[in-house]
């Protein structure tokens, strides 16, 4: 739309310049002055058109980075701020439901947790703050279950309620949590620019509130985006800044997640051996915390590091370990990631038959979570492998 306005402006200015030329009742000096103004308008409009085109091309390139099979499994922190959790704990009508839902979440029974949280929402006597918290909890469950549309609708509902009740709960970090979670959705959908916008908005709010855990979370996510876009120095700086904060507030899970992210940046900059040391440190912490999702993530990423170092068999072992855990907890995004990596490992080993089996399994999972960009890639890969197989059989 902006480009169209600029084109119309150029055409209009050219017409005006021609019209000035035909005027006989003004002298040449005035005409030259008016032509100079017209020329400046045209130059500015051309600059804006070129700038708009470059911006769109850059955004398209960024999104293409994401339109591929995700090799890494990303971790998203679903922990609630204490200020939000405390409100639910204090409400005698909701306390039992809240703790029941939290138990289900820890057991990765997110469908059960959803049922419990939705029962709470049906209660007409709950406060706006509690409604916001429940919407965020429900959105988090849908996010884990790879249902981004449902997750986003609940996060946005929490923002609407917050806007109405902002005067009463202005110091509660509910808005920043919802914004950050919407950023996670855009990240998973392969829209880095939109994700960055939401992460940065969340970061600004958390800085104003002085909510350190939220600041660290936002810095980690922004760092992850920068790493994907090849801005590794900025990415590492943000992850290290986040690490300082989580160490200061003694957030063990946050420390392990941030170490994992730092390992990823190292692996991206061809420092796979250094990444392995960092991953091992994070892995020990996740095991100590008994955080299966974290364990699976690090195992998958260790596999990637070994793959870069040329040890494909070792990489396969770690992918398979990660896959077992992701299947146990029912994390479909993780399962799809592991299956894709295992398929690629078998391709490298020259075992296309084994690769085909895992790619077909991955395709079924991706259809289940409706990941269109990855479905298209897998269909192409499966077609190539099947065609090669047919060629060999004909020879």
The pLDDT tens digits of the residues spanning 330-374 come to 999 899 999 999 998 998 898 989 999 999 999 999 899 888 878
Residues 279 and 258 sit within 8 Å (Cβ to Cβ): no
Structurally, how many domains does the chain consist of? 2
pLDDT at position 28, please? 72
pLDDT digits (tens, 9 = 90+) for 63-98: 444 334 546 666 676 777 777 777 777 777 778 888
pLDDT at position 19, please? 65
pLDDT at position 66, please? 39
pLDDT at position 78, please? 72
pLDDT at position 339, please? 94
Query: 370 is in which domain, residue-wise?
Result: 331-395
Any domain includes 360: yes
Any domain includes 183: no
pLDDT at position 67, please? 39
CB contact set of 242 (below 8 Å; sequence gap of 6+): 215, 216, 217, 219, 220, 223, 254, 258, 261
Any domain includes 369: yes
Any domain includes 185: no
CB contact set of 156 (below 8 Å; sequence gap of 6+): 178, 182
Residues of the chain where predicted confidence (pLDDT) is lower than 50? 62-68, 70
Whole-angstrom distance, CA of residue 122 vs CA of residue 111: 17
Residues in the chain: 395
Q: State both tokens at 42.
A: 């045209």
Residue where a domain terminates, one of 30, 56, 82: 56
pLDDT at position 331, please? 93
Which whole-number Å values give the CA distances from 252 to 212, 220, 287, 297, 393, in the listed order? 14, 15, 11, 16, 55
Any domain includes 274: no
Any domain includes 34: yes
pLDDT at position 190, please? 80
Residue where a domain terminates, one of 38, 56, 74: 56
Any domain includes 325: no
Residue where a domain terminates, one of 56, 74, 100: 56
pLDDT at position 90, please? 75
Torsion (CA) 12, 16, 18, 21 in degrees, nearest 10? -170
Q: Judging by beta carbons within 10 Å of its beta carbon (0-12, 13-18, 19+), is residue 61 exposed, middle or buried?
A: exposed
Any domain includes 391: yes
């Amino acid at each position: 739309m902006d480009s169209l306005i600029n084109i119309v402006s150029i055409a209009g200015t050219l017409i005006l310049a021609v019209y000035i030329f035909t005027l006989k009742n003004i002298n040449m000096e005035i005409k030259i002055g008016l032509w100079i103004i017209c020329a400046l308008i045209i130059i500015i409009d051309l600059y804006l058109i070129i700038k708009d085109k470059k911006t769109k091309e850059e955004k398209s390139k960024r999104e293409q980075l994401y339109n591929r099979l995700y090799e890494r499994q990303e971790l998203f922190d679903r922990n609630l701020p204490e200020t939000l959790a405390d409100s639910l704990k204090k409400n005698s009508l909701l306390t039992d439901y809240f703790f029941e839902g939290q138990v289900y979440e820890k057991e990765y029974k997110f469908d059960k947790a959803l049922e419990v949280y939705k029962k709470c929402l049906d209660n007409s006597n709950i406060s706006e703050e509690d409604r916001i918290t429940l919407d965020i909890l429900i959105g988090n469950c849908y996010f884990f279950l790879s249902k981004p549309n449902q997750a986003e609708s609940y996060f946005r509902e929490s923002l609407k309620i917050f806007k109405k009740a902002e005067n009463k709960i202005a110091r509660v970090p509910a808005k920043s949590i919802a914004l950050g979670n919407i950023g996670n959705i855009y990240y998973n959908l392969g829209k880095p620019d939109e994700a960055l916008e939401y992460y940065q908005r969340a970061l600004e709010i958390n800085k104003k509130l002085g909510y350190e855990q939220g600041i660290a979370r936002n810095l980690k996510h922004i760092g992850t985006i920068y790493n994907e876009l090849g801005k590794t120095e900025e990415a590492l700086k943000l992850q290290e800044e986040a690490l300082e904060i989580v160490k200061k507030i003694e957030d063990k899970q946050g420390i392990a997640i941030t170490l994992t992210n730092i390992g990823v940046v190292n692996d991206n900059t061809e420092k796979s051996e250094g990444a392995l040391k960092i991953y091992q440190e994070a892995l020990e912490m996740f095991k100590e915390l008994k955080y299966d999702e974290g364990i699976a993530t690090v195992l998958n990423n260790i596999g990637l590091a070994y793959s870069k170092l040329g040890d494909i068999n070792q990489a396969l072992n770690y992918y398979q370990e990660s896959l077992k855990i992701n299947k146990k907890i029912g994390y479909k995004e993780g399962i799809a990631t592991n299956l894709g990596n295992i398929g690629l490992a078998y391709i490298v080993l020259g075992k296309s038959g084994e690769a085909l089996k895992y790619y077909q399994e991955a395709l079924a999972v991706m259809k289940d979570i409706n990941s269109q960009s990855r479905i298209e890639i897998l269909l192409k890969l499966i077609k190539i492998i099947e065609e090669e197989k047919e060629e060999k059989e004909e020879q």
